[in-house]
Amino acid sequence: MTFVQLVDYRTHQPEAMNDLLDKYVAQSQGKRTVTHSVVGKDRDQTDHYVNFVEFPSYEEAMKNSNLPETDRMFHEMMALCDGMPTFTNLDTVRDEHLNTLMVNRMFDDIAMKGDMSAIEEIFAPDYHDHDISNPEDKHGYAAISEDVEMWRAAFDFSFTRDAQMAQDDYVTTLWTWTGTHKGEFMGVAPTGKTCTMTGTTVFRCQDGMIKEGWWHYDAMALMRQLGMM
C-alpha cells in the first residue's frame, strides 16, 4: 500500500530550503526510497509550505527515515523553519488519475470489448490521431472507429498494460498486444496464428476528453509472424 507523509512547515528562507532538498536528492541517490515529492506554497500565507512525500509502503518510508542522509537533512531543515514542522502519516486508500482511467477505457471498452458507443464519451470530436501504420494522420471519431473495426475484423486480441505513466495532460502506456489472426489483414488470408507485438501509446487529454494520440508499435514483428516477410 502506498504511503504518503505530509510535512507542514513555515519558512522565510524558501530558496535555502529548495537548495537543501536538491542536496538531499543528490546525496541520497541509490539509497532513498522516496518515489515522488511535491512541495506546495500557500497562496494566502506566503511563508506556509506543505510537502507531500510518497513511498511504495510504510516499511519503505521507515527504511528511508533511518538513512543518515535523511537524519542530516531533517536537522538542517529544522534550522530553516520558523517553528516546529508537523508530520502527518497517511496510508493511501484511493489513488486515481482521472485521465488514466479515461485512457484505460480506450483499451478495455473500445478496443477489446468493441463498445464503439464509448468513443464519443471519451474522445474529443476533433481528436487528432498519429499512427505509424497510416500514411496520413486521421481526425475525429472516425480516426478511432475505422482502425478499431479493422483490427477487430482481422484479430481476436487483447492488450496487457505493462507500464503506465501520467504526467500533466499526457498518459503513456507501454503495452503488449496478443491476437489470433481470424480475418484478412493487409491482403493476408486468415492464418489462425496467435501473434504478439509490443507498443507504446501516448494520449494527450484536455477538458476531460482525449484530444490527441500517438501510436508506436512493432509492426515488423507482427508481419514476420504472419509470414508477410
Q: By CB neighbour count within 10 A (0-12 exposed, 13-18 middle, 19+ buried), where does 76 fall? A: middle
Q: Give the pLDDT of residue 144.
A: 95
Q: At what angle do helices 14-27 and 68-80 cross, to 10 degrees?
A: 180
Q: How many residues does the chain have?
A: 229
Averaged confidence pLDDT in the chain: 95
What's the pLDDT tens digit per position in 87-96? 999 999 988 8
Q: What percent of the chain has pLDDT over 70?
A: 100
B/e letters for 211-224, b = 16+ CB within 10 Å, e = fewer, are bbbbbebeeeebbe
Q: Give the pLDDT of residue 113.
A: 97
pLDDT at residue 11 above 80? yes
Domain ranges, ordered by start, for the chain: 3-91, 98-225
Mean pLDDT of 2-22: 96
3-91, CATH topology level: Alpha-Beta Plaits (3.30.70)
What's the pLDDT tens digit per position in 149-189? 999 999 999 999 999 999 999 999 999 999 999 999 999 99
- Can you tell me whether residue 173 is helix, strand or coil? strand
Q: Which CATH class is domain 98-225?
A: alpha beta
Do residues 3 and 89 lie in contact, with contact meaning Cβ atoms separated by under 8 Å?
Answer: yes
pLDDT at residue 45 above 80? yes
Selection from 157, 146, 216, 160 nearest residue 181 by Cα = 157
What's the pLDDT tens digit per position in 96-150? 889 999 999 999 999 999 999 999 999 999 999 999 888 999 999 999 999 999 9
- Can you tell me whether residue 146 is helix, strand or coil? helix
Q: Rounded distance, CA 127 to CA 209, Å? A: 9
Domains 3-91 and 98-225 agree in fold = no
Selection from 183, 170, 185, 169 nearest residue 219 by Cα = 185
In this structure, which amino acid lies at residue 204? R
- The model's pTM: 0.80
